Structure formats: structure tokens, C-alpha cells
Amino acid sequence: MSRLDDILKTGFGWISPKGNVASCKMHEHFKSIRKHRDLSKELKKQFKQMENTLYDCEMECQDLEDEYGRGHGEWHNYELMEAQLRSDMWSALIQAGWVRFGEWSGNIEFQGIQESLDKHNSIIYIVAREIRKTGCDISFEIREST
């Protein structure tokens, strides 16, 4: 059960709509699943569009900075766009049936729509039971399905 060992090491991961578990590092939730075998073609396309949009915005900011000097790059536009696109992508993953989990500050939280949390309750139980050995409390963030 090496995947469980990986999850216990990192404390973070995803449960796919098909019930496959993928561990990830704390700040690498998107990186860990953007090419996951269970990711739908539609979500892969959304990831690619997000990357392209961010790249275009980054180039615009850099062009402004190159033309007008340091401090004129309007980098706050990039940061705002990145935050919005990440939020949109997060919502798309959750709505598509992915369950995200993470351990921090003595707590492990599972995030997903009710249908996904119910569907994967046996996997959630196993992950939670094992992580709980480290003394974590368990909570659920149930998202509204659209």
C-alpha cells in the first residue's frame, strides 16, 4: 500500500471520480493532477487554457515593464488573474467529482460535493484512519453541486 505511505508522508492529495488516490505536496495540488490519467479531456483543456491565459498576461506585464521600467509591469493584474483562474479550476475539479484532502494544524479536511464524499466514503475512511494515527481531527467542507 505504497500510495497510502506517500499520502501519510505528504498529508495532501486528491481522490479522483474513479476512486484513485493521488498524493501531492502542500502547494502542488494542481501540478499533481494536471496530467492525471483520470482527468477528463475537458478538464485537461481547461488547464491548458489557464496556462495559456496566464502566460499571455505574464508577457503583457513583462512587455510593460521592459518598455516603461521597473514598477510599471502591472504585475497585480497577473496575480489577480492567477488567483481567479485557480479558483475557477478548483471549482471545476470539485464539480467534476474530485475530492481534495489536506492535513495541516492538527486537522485533515476533505473537500468535495456531497455525492463524491458519499461515493468515496470507504477511501476517505481509510485515509482518515491512517492519518488520524498522527493525532489529526477530521472535517469536511461540502461544496454545493451545480
Instruction: Quote the domain boundaries for residue 123.
Output: 1-39+98-146
* Among 44, 11, 41, CA closest to 28: 11
Residues 46 and 86 in one domain: yes
pLDDT at position 2, please? 44
- Describe the strand order of the beta sheet including 12-15 as a list of residue ranges: 21-24, 12-15, 99-104, 107-113, 137-143
Residuewise pLDDT in 10s, the chain (146 residues): 346 666 667 778 889 999 988 888 877 777 778 778 899 999 999 989 998 999 999 999 899 888 888 777 788 888 999 999 989 998 999 999 999 988 777 788 899 999 999 999 988 888 777 766 666 677 777 777 76
pLDDT at position 24, please? 82
Helix (H) or strand (E) holding 54: helix 41-68
DSSP 57-117: HHHHHHHHHHHH-TT-S-HHHHHHHHHHHHHHHHHHHHHTT-EEEEEETTEEEEEEEHHHH
Residues 29 and 48 in one domain: no
pLDDT at position 18, please? 94
Which of 74, 95, 116 is a domain's end point? 95
Residues 52 and 88 in one domain: yes
Number of domains into which the chain is organized? 2
Residues 63 and 109 in one domain: no
What is the rounded distance in angstroms from the CA atom of residue 21 to the CA atom of residue 103? 15
Cell 492567477 sits on residue: 82
Residues 85 and 49 in one domain: yes
Residues 33 and 70 in one domain: no
